[in-house]
Amino acid sequence: MEFQAELIGTATLNDRGAFITALLDLDPALLRRQLPPPSQAIEFAFTYAHTHLLPLLTRIWPLPDDLPHAAGMGNLTRVKQWFDDSGAPALGDVEHHYPCSPYMPKGPSRTNMRISGGRQRVQRVLDVAFAWSVMNSHFDWRISARARRRHQHQLELP
């Protein structure tokens, strides 16, 4: 099943939705497994602006409920819920946000992303949310550039 997950990850990276559809139409074991193997397919869909592939990918891996994924999908209602009334982040445990998403492979490079201190981890979550929002053409929200420079995270809405 790891091979199937790698095929889908590579197809996602290269925007090959027809290949993913054809593979899933063959009813691979990957679709029947309770806990699918880790994969970067969902990460690739957001990072390379292939979110149109998410309906295929979420047949295997559930979409995490965190700020970066909500922002990358353009879900402004959900994005607002990750901030308090003053616009400051209310993320809860940052270990529940990307790059700590359950679908992500574990390993040394991923561990390094998690090691930094709490404030830096919050900043990383905000940076990824902003980046995925912009890369996927969702400009409904942004983090104030002035607030980012002062490390005072605030949400600005239209």
Q: Where are the alpha helices (DSSP H) in 14-155?
A: 17-25, 29-32, 41-47, 54-57, 67-73, 76-81, 108-115, 118-135, 145-149
Is pLDDT at 22 greater than 90 in this prediction? yes
Check whether the bond before 99 is cis (ω within 30° of 0): yes
Q: What is the pLDDT of residues 101-117, one digit of tens each?
A: 776 666 654 444 544 55
Domain range holding 34? 2-57
Answer yes or no: do 30 and 72 share one domain. no
Answer yes or no: do 81 and 48 share one domain. no
Is pLDDT at 154 greater than 80 in this prediction? no
Is pLDDT at 71 greater than 50 in this prediction? yes
Residue 85 structure tokens? 């009334």
pTM: 0.78
Answer yes or no: do 87 and 18 share one domain. no
Number of domains in the chain: 2
Answer yes or no: do 150 and 76 share one domain. yes
pLDDT of residue 107: 62
Answer yes or no: do 80 and 31 share one domain. no
Answer yes or no: do 50 and 92 share one domain. no
Answer yes or no: do 80 and 148 share one domain. yes
Instruction: Find residue 83's DSSP bridge partners.
Output: 89
Q: What is the pLDDT of residues 32-53, one digit of tens each?
A: 988 889 899 999 999 999 999 9
Answer yes or no: do 152 and 75 share one domain. yes
Is pLDDT at 151 greater than 70 in this prediction? no
Alpha carbon distances (Å) from 24 to 14, 43, 66: 17, 19, 26
Q: Name the band, by pLDDT with cuts 50, 70 and 90, for residue 140.
A: low
Q: Is residue 62 part of a domain?
A: no
Across the range 86-100, mean pLDDT stands at: 84
